[in-house]
Structure 1
Amino acid sequence: MNDRHADAGSEESEISPQVALAPGRYRRVEGDASDPGSLGGSALDSLPDPVIAIDASGTLLYVNRVVTDVLGWEPDDIVGRSVLDLLHPDDLNIVLASMATVTTKKVGELIMVRALTAHGSWMALEVRGAVQGAGDDHLNVLVLRDTTHRHRLELDQGEVGVLRSVMANMHGMIALVEPDGSVRSINGAVTRILGYDPELIPGQQFTDFLHVDDRAQVVDVISALGPHESAHLDARFTATSGESITCEFTVNNMCADSTVRGYIVSGQVAAGLTDARNRVDFLAHHDGRTGLLNRHGFMKAANELIAQGGGLGLMIVDVMRFRSINELYGETVGDAVLSAVASRIDEIRWPDLLTARFGGDEFVLAVRSASDSAIEMLRERVGRDVARAIQIDGQEINVGLRTAVSFDPNPEGLESVLASASNELMRIKRNADPESGEISVDSINKRRAHLDQLRSALTSGEIQPFFQPIVDPDGRILSVEALVRWVHPVRGVLGVNEILPIAQMAGLAEAVDERVLDMSLAFASRLSDAGHGDVEVHVNVDPKVISRAAFAAHFLERCSFHGARPEQIVVELTETDLLAPGVTSLDNMQELRRAGTHVSIDDFGTGYSSLSHLLELPVDGVKIDRKFIAGIDVDPAATNLTTAIIGLSESLQLGCVAEGVEQPYQRDRLVALGCTAFQGWLYSPAVPPDEVFALLP
């Protein structure tokens, strides 16, 4: 506030100290008006009480001589300072509220404040003021009265002073209310908490300060009070800022008391009650476990979204094998999985997106859009960002999702859109692989034992790669593919279908892949040492791994560690994982190829992508999926697609392997179509490393 008057040399910024005061106006005079002697003829100097004048910002422009006598300040010490600098901090709210409304009063009411004396002590003053002038140039002329000296003449001066001080500074709010409901007076806490000017409150109805929804309840309670009875209640008061503040308060009916003749209202802010009420309001529309909208909150918000116009896309997200996760790991881990899925869904940033949990393992998302493209893009986003492994208590839980969507460009209601998505989800569940469904309690117990055995197998070396040859038309081995096997001491050699589901559920899939990769690279080194360095080793790489920034560098370091030449290794990636590869994945693929490592697309033809997709990917070859090989000369579509893949590979100079070759007629047909590499049981199953050497010349 003082910055406006800091430049004493600027005549425009210095309204005074050269002023003389007269009733209703102020004017400039010659001489130093800050010197009490120069205003010796002023009537204000003859008053027994201190008199000050401040502008609209609170800057002191004039003090009379009595200010020096009472407070000890010389005019030169305080003229030009903000009056707020001289007030006790606990009284600032009352003074600021009074200053903000000063132009609406003819003469202000008495207020009690404490002022700082020149000696560093606080003096209790009674203040009454009036406005001189109008507009931004008005002055507030205040008469101060030392209540200590005045109350020496009163018989009860000690009690009155104490009571006034207590009322002004107590933390609880106090209001005296007339029998007709109008406010007689308030204490300082009402101003500090709600912001109301104590000079403007008297005469207004007490209920005017209550939230409109709580007025009837409070009136009913107060109306039922008999003489000297009291009631405890809570209600929301409206502050000057417009904020609703919940308060706990007591109303005492003292209308029959000859002194009070009214109601005494005392209260305080109910922080705990406010939190509880907010919590109740939140839980009415939100899921208590995840914090997302619940069914009721979602239906309400989605209908409001529909009312805004435009189309509505809706998606149901179902967590696969959730019952199995609960049974296998316990409900605590199951709850943690739900919370993690909900958190990932909640972190998705999308315009006009609603997210909810309808109960169990079912989540629902809705988005307003002009076309179904938005909900389809959101579906891809959920599949990418939500369906990821979750680390819980040191173990990795793989989370699979089913998603079903529906879209209505002009929805008349939410129910039809929701029913459409629900029906799609039911169809997806009916057509799902039984392996992806729930499992029985007996199966759970078996899988728990299987899980313990799998962990032990990883450390004991029972998990290892077998190698299936890839041969030319004459049966000569060109390369081998590493396939994971579990050499079980009791059950014999177990294939990938026995290992992968439990490994994925238990979060051990990456550990299995790491073991197989290391042993495969070491086997490639053995092949080179034995004079078979021209035999390539195919290894399968998880798309989540190749999307990591440092994958290529780490892969090449591991090749070096195991003594494997990068150009002897072929990295296989499934086509479905390459439909929309990220920049990092593409960079890793390019870096591998620069080092001599080949990159091949596995299960080609199953991703429903255009064959021209091959032109966009940094790959060296493809593998035709086994289901198309099985359909050769049986299913025309499979035969045509196989023919197209072989022809396109030849034109693009890509390697092409037909996997799943089991019958001589399949081999003969593939040879006729121009295929040059074959893999399948017709030639050899996957065999241990030592048996590979027996098959080599």
Structure 2
Amino acid sequence: MVLVLLLPLLIFIMAVAYFEYDEWDKRLKSTALAETVRGSITFAAGSSEDVLNGDIDAVSDMIRRIIKSEQNYNDNTLLHLTTIVVLDADGGVLARTGADQVKPGREYQGPLPQGIASATQLVHDRDQPFAEIDTNNATLLAYAPIDWQGQRLGAVINEYSLAPLNAQQREIIGLFLLRSLAAIGAAMLLGLLIVRWITYPLISIIRNLPQLGSGRFSLPALAAREDEYGTLTNALSEADRRIHKSNLALQKEIEERRQMEGDLKLAATVFENSSEGIVITDRDNNILSVNNAFEKLTGYQRTEVIGKNPRILKSGRHDSHFYQDMWRHINAEGRWQGEIWERRKDGVVYPKWITINAIRDDTGELTNHMAIFSDISERKAAEQRIYHLAHHDALTGLANRTLLGDRIRHAIHQVRRSGRMVAVLFIDLDGFKLINDTLGHEVGDTMLCKVAERLQSLVRDSDTVARMGGDEFLVLLSDIGHEEDAARVAEKVVSAIAEPYHINGQELRTSPSIGISIYPQDAADENALIRSADTAMYHAKAVGRNNFQFYTGSMHEQVLERLDLEHGLRQAIERDALELEFQPQYDVRQERVTGFEALVRWRHDDRGPIPPTEFIPIAEESGLIVQLGEIVLRQACLQSLAWQHAGMSSFRIAVNVSARQFWDGSFATRVQKVLEQTGARAECLELELTESTLLHHRSEKEKELHELRAMGIKIAIDDFGTGYSSLSYLKRLAIDRLKIDRSFVHELGHDSESEAIVIAIIKLAQTLNIELVAEGVETTEARDFLVAHGCNVMQGFLFGHPQRAAAWKVS
């Protein structure tokens, strides 16, 4: 701070020195200039006497007199004239001081004033006398033109040397230095006063100025003063408080703005990168901005829609009431959300889920609308697929039970006031399980699809065909006038379903058993209507299949009875309460029993003995036949082993094998396991399979038959002659015995066709070297016919009824 205050003092001293120097400079230059001008005037005066007209000697003499005069004059001065040069009108040297004289017109080689390149330029351009000191302060150059009567005659240049200081000059410089020291002392004293009373408080304030605005600016000593510094300090303290408060508010505002900028940046990023389309409009619903997703979803570029109304996207699927209701919600609630169909740029109409919000300012005035939407085409398609899967059969595409129930309810509601009827046809395919088990599920599924196609072709568009599962179908006739209408449809179904099916190069057949129930007389709702039709279907199966039956009240009792039998059979199997009876197979020529057929018997706890013709079909339909067959096989093996232990002959025991049992898993492995567990001999076991079971064999089952024969087990074809397949399988398969069906044996002696069939079977067996057994032999007439044509082994009431094992004591 002291240096800052001393700076003006130094400037003052430098100014005084400059003025002293300038005065000294002016005094030197003035003296030299006066002498030079005087010499110029002298030369000019001499020109009247033609001094400059070529009299060089006269000029030189004049120069010598001038120098001498100047030397006397300048003894006590700082200036000493050293050289005089006289130039002519052309700038050439006319004369100069020195021992050697120059010739007229010689070029001037001495010093020239600054800015002058030659003596000629000096004479011609400088009209006024002047003087200047060189840069080393050693010499002084003075110049004056020589004019006479308005004519430039030439010029004179004087060179002076600066002599050392004399006593007078030293006194002048000493006074100058004394005044300067006095001024410095006064300035230092003034500086100390300034530092004490002005500078120190200012320095304290300046040092604390960086804290201004921080809330920490505090100078108690200065604040207590009652002068300007106290006022300034208090003012700065108040300013510090206000600035600090303002800074806090400003920082908060900056932070809020930074947060707002971040939010805006984030919002802009979300806006542009959102997977949902976004549209922002003004209060008049003109589009202001759209995002990238909008362009992708609609096909429009933003330049194509800016300024336009979103109605350019309308699909035409919604009427004016739809949009009026939408805008009523937006205006009342500020928001609307829902599904809407709109059109892309390429014309494709698609569904989208959209949310429209009304944006208002702080005063509540509407400023914008913003719509956010997404394409829900895939979701709608998925919903339709889910709905279809939930209401339709996956295999056939028909309605399922859920959809059928809805349509039955709707049909009942429609006919309730008209007095008309609703009919339900419950259809079950006869023998389908056998086809499915023997040929595989792929063939079975193909047949079900073909059945579904035939059923749909037989009904009206207003009717419904449904699949309940497995091989069960239902047909809803939604509006009929008479029961006969349902009967006519049922007749068509029976005829159509019975037509052959060509699948994988094979001709397959099935037939329907149909139960019919009618609303309102048979049931009051959809579930009861289906149950009644189901009951009628079981009655159709019971009376022979391949027919239709209308529901009656007594059928319900029959169904309950059947369910009771199925339940009792299941319990009997679980308790191992089934028994075997054995019917002998008799060789007429040898007159002895050669084997037995094991026949299962069931004694119900309440109803007593149940005929096999009643419970075997139930076991087939319910799937219990597999467990039942296992029981029969195991008990037959145990009985064979018991007879062996009792010393009886090793009789062959024949066991019937159902189609489901044969095709259910690895049959040969299960048979071997039973033999191992019971310890029975395989040679004593014969397995009887029906011709239809082997009707459509597969390679793996053919292999199993050979495996069974390799064990020593005999394979027999039961009910031979009732099938409708080719006989080539007899050559390929491992068949040991054919059993002539009892339906042919009963007619022997009475029906020539049956006799011809029996004779053909006997000859076929003899040709293929296959054993024969005739079933159902009850008369001597039948026995004799069979013996006469070569069949010696017979089974029937003529030779013995089925009895418990204990009843047979044969050797």
TM-score, normalization by structure 2: 0.47
In 2, the alpha carbon distance for the partners of 1:225 and 1:550 equals: 69
Kindly state the Cα deviation for residue 640 of structure 1 after the two structures are TM-superposed: 1.1
In 1, the alpha carbon distance for the partners of 2:681 and 2:278 equals: 86
In 1, the alpha carbon distance for the partners of 2:334 and 2:566 equals: 68
Q: Does 1:441 align with 2:556?
A: yes
Q: Does 1:358 align with 2:474?
A: no
Output aligned runs, 1:443-482, within 5 Å. Answer: 443-474=558-589, 475-482=591-598
Residue 310 (structure 2) aligns with? 206
Q: Does 1:288 align with 2:395?
A: no
Q: Does 1:553 align with 2:669?
A: yes
Kindly state the Cα deviation for residue 628 of structure 1 after the two structures are TM-superposed: 1.0
SS of 2:580's partner is strand
Contact 2:315–2:342 (CA<8 Å) still a contact in 1?
yes
Distance 1:220 1:491, change over 3 A: closer
Q: Does 1:485 align with 2:601?
A: yes
In 2, the alpha carbon distance for the partners of 1:181 and 1:354 equals: 57
In 2, the alpha carbon distance for the partners of 1:525 and 1:455 equals: 27
* 1:682 partner letter: L
- Gap runs ≥5 in structure 2: 1-252, 405-424, 431-440, 457-463, 476-497, 515-536
Kindly state the Cα deviation for residue 649 of structure 1 after the two structures are TM-superposed: 0.5
Kindly state the Cα deviation for residue 455 of structure 1 after the two structures are TM-superposed: 3.4
Which whole-Å deviations, capped at 9, do the CAs of 1:586-613 have from their partners, x for residues lacking one? 1110111122211111111111223444
Output aligned runs, 1:315-464, within 5 Å. Answer: 318-319=427-428, 345=445, 358-359=465-466, 361=468, 363=473, 375-377=501-503, 432-434=541-543, 440-464=555-579
Kindly state the Cα deviation for residue 213 of structure 1 after the two structures are TM-superposed: 4.2
Residue 687 (structure 1) aligns with? 803
Q: Does 1:246 align with 2:372?
A: no
Contact 1:174–1:264 (CA<8 Å) still a contact in 2?
no
In 1, the alpha carbon distance for the partners of 2:332 and 2:604 equals: 87
Contact 1:549–1:588 (CA<8 Å) still a contact in 2?
no
Contact 1:485–1:494 (CA<8 Å) still a contact in 2?
yes
In 1, the alpha carbon distance for the partners of 2:773 and 2:301 equals: 87
Contact 1:168–1:188 (CA<8 Å) still a contact in 2?
no
In 2, the alpha carbon distance for the partners of 1:290 and 1:602 equals: 38
Contact 2:428–2:513 (CA<8 Å) still a contact in 1?
yes
Contact 2:279–2:290 (CA<8 Å) still a contact in 1?
yes
Contact 1:546–1:588 (CA<8 Å) still a contact in 2?
no
Residue 414 (structure 2) aligns with? none
Larger helix fraction of residues: 2
Q: Does 1:494 align with 2:597?
A: no
* 2:503 partner letter: M
Kindly state the Cα deviation for residue 480 of structure 1 after the two structures are TM-superposed: 0.5
Kindly state the Cα deviation for residue 276 of structure 1 after the two structures are TM-superposed: 6.9
Which whole-Å deviations, capped at 9, do the CAs of 1:351-392 have from their partners, x for residues lacking one? x98998713745499xxxxxx9994328989999xxxxxxxx
Contact 1:549–1:584 (CA<8 Å) still a contact in 2?
no
* 1:288 partner letter: H
Kindly state the Cα deviation for residue 550 of structure 1 after the two structures are TM-superposed: 3.2
* 1:514 partner letter: E
From the CA coordinates, give the structure whose radius of gyration is larger: 2
Q: Does 1:264 align with 2:369?
A: yes
Distance 1:522 1:223, change over 3 A: closer
In 2, the alpha carbon distance for the partners of 1:260 and 1:461 equals: 85
Residue 734 (structure 2) aligns with? 618
In 2, the alpha carbon distance for the partners of 1:472 and 1:680 equals: 12
Residue 340 (structure 2) aligns with? 235
In 2, the alpha carbon distance for the partners of 1:513 and 1:158 equals: 82
Residue 81 (structure 1) aligns with? none
Kindly state the Cα deviation for residue 287 of structure 1 after the two structures are TM-superposed: 6.6
Residue 630 (structure 1) aligns with? 746
In 1, the alpha carbon distance for the partners of 2:374 and 2:658 equals: 58
In 2, the alpha carbon distance for the partners of 1:347 and 1:175 equals: 55
Contact 1:225–1:253 (CA<8 Å) still a contact in 2?
no
In 2, the alpha carbon distance for the partners of 1:198 and 1:530 equals: 101
Which whole-Å deviations, capped at 9, do the CAs of 1:63-107 have from their partners, x for residues lacking one? xxxxxxxxxxxxxxxxxxxxxxxxxxxxxxxxxxxxxxxxxxxxx
Distance 1:431 1:612, change over 3 A: farther
Which whole-Å deviations, capped at 9, do the CAs of 1:157-216 have from their partners, x for residues lacking one? 986774564354266754134689763312466468778765665256634545564598
Kindly state the Cα deviation for residue 440 of structure 1 after the two structures are TM-superposed: 2.9
Aligned length: 460
Residue 183 (structure 1) aligns with? 287
SS of 1:577's partner is coil
Contact 2:501–2:508 (CA<8 Å) still a contact in 1?
no
SS of 1:376's partner is strand
Contact 2:585–2:596 (CA<8 Å) still a contact in 1?
yes
Which whole-Å deviations, capped at 9, do the CAs of 1:482-527 have from their partners, x for residues lacking one? 1111144565443312321333344322221111110101112223
* 1:264 partner letter: H
In 1, the alpha carbon distance for the partners of 2:642 and 2:578 equals: 19
Distance 1:376 1:495, change over 3 A: same
In 2, the alpha carbon distance for the partners of 1:164 and 1:466 equals: 92
Distance 1:381 1:641, change over 3 A: closer
Kindly state the Cα deviation for residue 582 of structure 1 after the two structures are TM-superposed: 1.2
In 2, the alpha carbon distance for the partners of 1:548 and 1:446 equals: 28
Residue 652 (structure 1) aligns with? 768
